[in-house]
A and B are shown apart, each in its own frame.
Chain A
Amino acid sequence: MKLHFTNGWLQQKISADPDVDIEAGPAIDGDGGHLELANVDNAAPAESRTRVQFRIGLGVLVRKLRRRDGLSVAELARRADVSEEELRQVEHNPNYTARPHLIHQLSNYFSVPLVALSQMAGTTDQIDRVLFNETVRYAAYSDDLGTMSNEERRALDAFVATLVDRAKA
């Protein structure tokens, strides 16, 4: 077979390409890409009901953080370099398991500890009971109506501080 490109084309394109690792194939959470990770030492194994409740909390948290920053779903997806479709799933579908990449990007974008978001997404086998209880409490007292009040903002800040504390614990 013949290569249908020239080195002139290649040099021009490589110099213009951003620093992105170009790859294709099954992801680690997909079919067949299993990876041995360092142990995560936590308390209890997550059950399906716990996962759903955690994910409800994650959806509330992401919506609140997005509203706090005045971003649409599309704008947040663009800024955090994640899929808009997946972001909607995370915000509204507690049966959806977010992909690790999305959790990592949200953690970076909002400066919320990755270990806490990973547990809330239900992607870890074990969970921190304190974090779980705080998440359920936060989600139960949250609503999405209207603009964010000062009280809501304070509650959000307090919850994010809890996530940071639990990540250190």
Chain B
Amino acid sequence: MKELLGQVDLYNRESASYDKAEVYQELDQKNFDDFDQLWQPMLAKRGAEVHSLAEAANANVQDARWDWVGKAKVAAMMMGQETFAVECGETQGLMLVNLNGFGQIEVQKGRELIYIELLATAPWNRHKLVASPRYKGVGRILIATAISLSIDSGFHGRLGLHSLPQSESWYRNEAKFTDLGLDAPKRMHYFEVTVDQAKAFLEDK
């Protein structure tokens, strides 16, 4: 069942102030409707305007075919999966995580971690997709939520994820996660977060 985890501040670029948003664990019909009726049309429209995969990657419409609804319904029945939503009126961001991940870097090889399967911000918040994106901070909130889940699950903040290309620099330079390089089969960079990196990520400085 959908559960409110807390209220968070989301930066509204239009008003240059912070709006109150909510973080929920487990998606419900409102999130599915927002994805189908608000996200999908924008992603599909932009996708139809580009002529190559390179343009599509740059327009940041990779998730146009991610089946959030199907995946969230399966996750609700699985012990090892959790879904999260950030809402501020509409659904501003979605995340699907797997609790059955294992560490690959030496310091935590074989140790349990939270693996982020999917993480996406609403299309109107993406600066590569719209001229004036609405909210900033959705991705950071979801990453911090995943680390919180890792702490509460006894994994001490350990996290793993495959980054979309346009996000790699943020994970590497801002979040300071470990970049394990290109994962050949997935053709994406794999990032991992150690216990110390998770602590540093959540520090007030």
Binding site for B on A (CB under 8 A): 1-15, 17-40, 81, 83, 85-86, 97, 99-104, 107, 114-115, 117-118, 121, 123-124
Binding site for A on B (CB under 8 A): 5-9, 11, 18, 23, 25, 44, 47-58, 60-66, 116-121, 125-129, 133, 136-145, 147-149, 151-152, 161-171, 174, 181-182, 186-189, 202, 204
Do B202 and A9 touch across chains, with their CB atoms under 8 A apart? yes
Do B49 and A22 touch across chains, with their CB atoms under 8 A apart? no
Nearest to B165 among chain A residues (CB) is A101
Set of chain B residues within 8 Å of A11, measured between Cβ atoms: 9, 11, 18
Do A83 and B189 touch across chains, with their CB atoms under 8 A apart? yes
Do A83 and B168 touch across chains, with their CB atoms under 8 A apart? yes
Do A8 and B57 touch across chains, with their CB atoms under 8 A apart? no
Do A31 and B186 touch across chains, with their CB atoms under 8 A apart? yes
Which secondary structure characterizes the binding site on chain A? loop
CB within 8 A of A17: which of B116, B163, B174? B174
Do B65 and A19 touch across chains, with their CB atoms under 8 A apart? no
Do A22 and B119 touch across chains, with their CB atoms under 8 A apart? yes
Q: A3-B145, A83-B168 are in contact. Are A21 and B127 (CB under 8 A)?
A: yes
Q: What are 17 A-B contacts defined by CB distance under 8 Å?
A: A1-B152, A4-B151, A7-B8, A10-B141, A17-B136, A17-B140, A20-B167, A22-B138, A24-B119, A24-B161, A25-B119, A35-B56, A36-B48, A37-B52, A37-B53, A101-B165, A117-B54
**17 more A-B residue pairs beyond the given contacts A4-B144, A23-B60, A26-B162, with a C-beta to C-beta distance below 8 A:** A1-B25, A3-B144, A5-B148, A6-B204, A7-B7, A14-B9, A17-B137, A21-B125, A21-B166, A24-B118, A24-B161, A25-B63, A25-B66, A85-B182, A99-B57, A100-B57, A118-B52
For the complex formed, measure the closest distance between the CB of B110 and the CB atoms of chain A, giving whole angstroms: 22
Set of chain B residues within 8 Å of A38, measured between Cβ atoms: 48-51
Do B48 and A27 touch across chains, with their CB atoms under 8 A apart? no
Set of chain B residues within 8 Å of A104, measured between Cβ atoms: 54-55, 57-58
Set of chain A residues within 8 Å of B186, measured between Cβ atoms: 26, 30-31
For the complex formed, measure the closest distance between the CB of A103 and the CB atoms of chain B, giving whole angstroms: 4
Do B170 and A28 touch across chains, with their CB atoms under 8 A apart? no
Set of chain B residues within 8 Å of A7, measured between Cβ atoms: 7-9, 18
CB within 8 A of B166: which of A26, A40, A83, A101? A101
For the complex formed, measure the closest distance between the CB of A122 and the CB atoms of chain B, giving whole angstroms: 11
For the complex formed, measure the closest distance between the CB of A126 and the CB atoms of chain B, giving whole angstroms: 11
CA separation between A2 and B160, bound complex, in Å? 20
CA separation between A12 and B204, bound complex, in Å? 8
CA separation between A112 and B118, bound complex, in Å? 33
Do B47 and A35 touch across chains, with their CB atoms under 8 A apart? yes
Nearest to A121 among chain B residues (CB) is B54
Do B51 and A10 touch across chains, with their CB atoms under 8 A apart? no
CB within 8 A of B136: which of A1, A19, A24, A102? A19
CA separation between A85 and B182, bound complex, in Å? 8
Do B204 and A9 touch across chains, with their CB atoms under 8 A apart? yes
CA separation between A2 and B145, bound complex, in Å? 9
Set of chain B residues within 8 Å of A107, measured between Cβ atoms: 54
CB within 8 A of B117: which of A21, A25, A27? A25
CB within 8 A of B118: which of A22, A25, A36, A100? A25
For the complex formed, measure the closest distance between the CB of A73 and the CB atoms of chain B, giving whole angstroms: 15
